[in-house]
Amino acid sequence: AAKQPDPVIFLPGGPGAGIVERLPALLRSPFGELVGTDRDWIFFDPRGVGLATPRLDCGSLQLTDAGLVSDGAVEAAKACLRRHAAAGVDLGRYNAETIAADVTALRRA
């Protein structure tokens, strides 16, 4: 009854990181102490990662924070994207703008 009206929407780090599957373990860790009880918390896996479907997994590409590390990794990433596109995935729907719209929809819900 004493909950604040505005929820916390937790955005997992990444790119490519989900949270839902790891959430039970995280809540038992010191992180769990940060999750207050004075408001609702919303945890979700953004499009393409974690338990979201479809999951845009390209295996273990050689990737750093600066991006793909070799020409071979670039070709592997391109091949992966072609496989997803061939499976009917609209890759144009997996970007910051659509994920921000998803967050807005979650907030409103």
Q: Which of 19, 10, 91 is nearest to 50 (CA)?
A: 19
Listed in sequence order, the residues at least 6 apart from 91 whose beta carbon sits closer than 8 Å to its beta carbon are 56, 81, 84, 85
Residue 8 confidence (pLDDT): 86
Residue 79 confidence (pLDDT): 95
Judge whether residue 97 has pLDDT over 70. yes
Q: What is the pLDDT of residue 27?
A: 87
Question: Cα 36 from chain centroid?
Answer: 22
pLDDT in tens, 16-38: 678 899 888 888 888 888 887 88
Q: Biggest alpha carbon distance in the chain? A: 56
- Summarised one tens digit per residue, pLDDT across range 48-81 is 888 988 988 888 887 787 888 889 999 999 999 9
pLDDT confidence of residue 33: 82
Residue 1's pLDDT is: 62
Q: Render pLDDT for 77-87 as a digit per residue (tens, 0 to 9).
A: 999 999 999 99
Q: Number of C-alpha atoms within 13 angstroms, CB side, residue 86?
A: 6
Cβ neighbours, 10 Å, residue 48: 22
Indicate the pTM of the whole model: 0.73
